[in-house]
A and B are shown apart, each in its own frame.
Chain A
């Protein structure tokens, strides 16, 4: 069974630029959730995707957007990067409709905005 994978591992951008982060869900999972984890904090929910549609959103501005593809993989896009966007971005996949529906996390992408 293949776990959740994310790319790239690390990324350095400058303020104002745009970034795309990628996530491949665990085999058999149909739902992807994205979280932002600032240094020393717990993860904060950004949004969730199911059947290629956004299925709920946290308190993040519209410049945070996402996509889910037919193979259930997902992208997180952030436009007009700000210094405060520097964080670890975690992707989690789950199987909606299953008895457990537990979210399993990828290794994360560390984004640094200069």
Chain B
């Protein structure tokens, strides 16, 4: 069974600074996807960034980037130039491609509550 571990229950960062959230996962599969989702207090889960396991290049989306270490099964999220609106719960999630080539269920970590301070 796949598991996702986020070892930092809470983190805080000053506005405009950089913060890194950690995530490790366990799987025997070779074809999978990893995601970071953000859930603000308003509760809607928003996709931040995705990474295909077969791609060696780390994904980036504006101020958000990942450090994907496949051998170590590590998938950290770096937020640059933190903004007050980045305050949210961040979830790391994993999904594997099934035999039909489609994504299946998402397995989530327990989340990291990030607070950006002014």
> Digit string of B80-118 for contact with A (CB within 8 Å is 1, else 0)?
000000000001010100000111111111110000000
Residue in contact with A41 in the complex, picked from B42, B47, B104, B110, CB distance below 8 Å: B110
Alpha-carbon gap, A103 to B33, bound state (A): 11
Alpha-carbon gap, A78 to B93, bound state (A): 26
Residue in contact with A43 in the complex, picked from B33, B46, B50, B108, CB distance below 8 Å: B108
Query: In the bound complex, do residue B44 and residue A102 qualify as a contact, i.e. CB atoms below 8 Å apart?
Result: no
B55 to chain A, nearest CB (A): 13
> Digit string of B21-48 for contact with A (CB within 8 Å is 1, else 0)?
0000000000001010100001111110
Query: In the bound complex, do residue B106 and residue A103 qualify as a contact, i.e. CB atoms below 8 Å apart?
Result: yes
Verify if A70 is at the interface (C-beta below 8 Å from B).
no
B17 to chain A, nearest CB (A): 26
Contact residues in A for B95 (Cβ distance below 8 Å): 103
Contact residues in A for B35 (Cβ distance below 8 Å): 102
- The stretch among A12-20, A61-69, A89-97 that forms the contact with chain B is A89-97
Query: In the bound complex, do residue B50 and residue A42 qualify as a contact, i.e. CB atoms below 8 Å apart?
Result: no
Query: In the bound complex, do residue B106 and residue A35 qualify as a contact, i.e. CB atoms below 8 Å apart?
Result: yes
Chain A interface size band reads 20 to 34
Q: What are the 10 tightest A-B residue pairs by CB atom distance, in nearest-first order? A: A42-B108, A105-B45, A45-B105, A101-B103, A96-B102, A107-B44, A42-B110, A43-B108, A42-B91, A42-B111
Contact residues in B for A108 (Cβ distance below 8 Å): 43-45
Contact residues in A for B102 (Cβ distance below 8 Å): 31, 96-97, 101
Contact residues in B for A104 (Cβ distance below 8 Å): 47
Query: In the bound complex, do residue B44 and residue A58 qualify as a contact, i.e. CB atoms below 8 Å apart?
Result: no
Residue in contact with B105 in the complex, picked from A58, A100, A105, CB distance below 8 Å: A58
- Can you name 27 A-B residue pairings with CB atoms under 8 Å? A41-B110, A42-B93, A42-B110, A43-B45, A43-B106, A44-B108, A45-B106, A45-B107, A56-B104, A56-B105, A58-B105, A92-B45, A92-B106, A94-B103, A96-B103, A97-B102, A100-B50, A102-B47, A102-B50, A102-B103, A103-B103, A104-B47, A105-B46, A106-B44, A107-B42, A107-B44, A108-B44
